[in-house]
Structure 1
Amino acid sequence: MTRRVHRVHEVMTGNPVTVEQLTTLAEAARVMRDAGIGDVLVVDRGRLRGILTDRDIVVRALAEDRDPAETTVRAICSTDPLTVKPDDRVDHAVDLMRRHALRRLPVQADDGELVGIVTLGDLEVERDPGSPLSAIAAAEAMPR
């Protein structure tokens, strides 16, 4: 039996949530809360500039006494994120995440359009649907 090669577009979460880089942390946190997610992609006129996580808000902003109503996401987000393409092999995404200790990778089409995000949870659901991490990832994806 031949093992099927899986592509990123088969496991990614489509329609990634984005915020402009001049969005305040408070607004970005509300976007995350309302979408039930822990990260947003940071863009400047539609072009990817970074990733902001809920942990970034706590560790890089609140712990340093930055005002979330005044601080922009550009000031604390991770910049120049690594990306993958929708047709890249899942093994390539796993390798990048492992080598760079990443939990998520934006997915960009050849024209630069953001089409998704692939997370550790997405990959675990694909690799081992019965694993505890897979069950947690599936539960987090359900509406609250």
Structure 2
Amino acid sequence: MTQQVKDVMTAGVAAVRPDASLVEAAQMMRAQDIGGVVVSLDNRLIGVLTDRDIATRAVAEGVDPLAVSAEAVCTLTPVSIGPDEPVSSAVSLMREHAVRRLPVVEGDRPIGMVSLGDLAGTLDPESALGDISRAPSNSSAGPAPG
């Protein structure tokens, strides 16, 4: 039987409002040990904001992360997938659009996220990415020594 996205996704979503600051979004990512959040309004998907987006589209540009909104930095109208789609469709979409995460939506409502790590852990658990995805995160270690 073909696996569906709902079988491999991370259920539930970490979401921020479009007007949330980048600091607020980054703090949520750290607290939940995740690399991305959905940007939503009225339970509708507006965008996806990743730790990489914050680093490359904001911090590297020298903007104040307290003064910039999630909506200003996120990927608006991101590619997404439904929970009943085959996992192979998620893989194809990620390849085609060069993304590491796909929001899983029912209608416009985000219900989960499927990541490269989710796919590797399911499709190739013995791969390096599968191993890394199962390893505990080091993101709670605090600031790097100066």
Taking structure 1 as the reference length, what is the TM-score of the superposition? Answer: 0.91
Q: Does 1:130 align with 2:134?
A: no
Q: Deviations over 1:97-128 (max 9, x none)?
A: 1111111100011x332111000111111111
State, as a whole percentage, how many aligned pairs show the same letter: 43
Q: How many positions carry a matched residue from both structures? A: 140
The equivalences for 1:90-129 within 5 A come to 90-109=87-106, 111-129=107-125
The one-letter code of the counterpart of 2:55 is V
The one-letter code of the counterpart of 1:83 is S
| RMSD of aligned residue pairs (Cα, Å) | 1.7
Q: Which runs of 5+ in 2 are unaligned?
A: 141-146
The equivalences for 1:19-38 within 5 A come to 19-38=16-35
Q: Does 1:68 align with 2:55?
A: no
Question: In the alignment, what sits opposite 2:143?
Answer: none
Question: In the alignment, what sits opposite 2:44?
Answer: 47
Q: Tell me, in whole angstroms, the C-alpha distance in 2 between the residues paired with 1:92 and 1:122.
A: 14
Report the alpha carbon displacement of residue 141 of structure 1 after superposing the two structures with TM.
7.1
Q: Does 1:82 align with 2:79?
A: yes
Q: Which runs of 5+ in 1 are unaligned?
A: none
Other structure's SS at 1:52 match:
strand
Mapped contact 2:30–2:139 kept (Cα < 8 A):
no
Q: Tell me, in whole angstroms, the C-alpha distance in 1 between the residues paired with 2:60 and 2:133.
A: 28
Other structure's SS at 1:42 match:
strand
The one-letter code of the counterpart of 2:99 is L
Q: Tell me, in whole angstroms, the C-alpha distance in 2 between the residues paired with 1:141 and 1:62.
A: 22
Report the alpha carbon displacement of residue 44 of structure 1 after superposing the two structures with TM.
1.5
The one-letter code of the counterpart of 2:50 is T
Q: Tell me, in whole angstroms, the C-alpha distance in 2 between the residues paired with 1:125 and 1:103.
A: 14
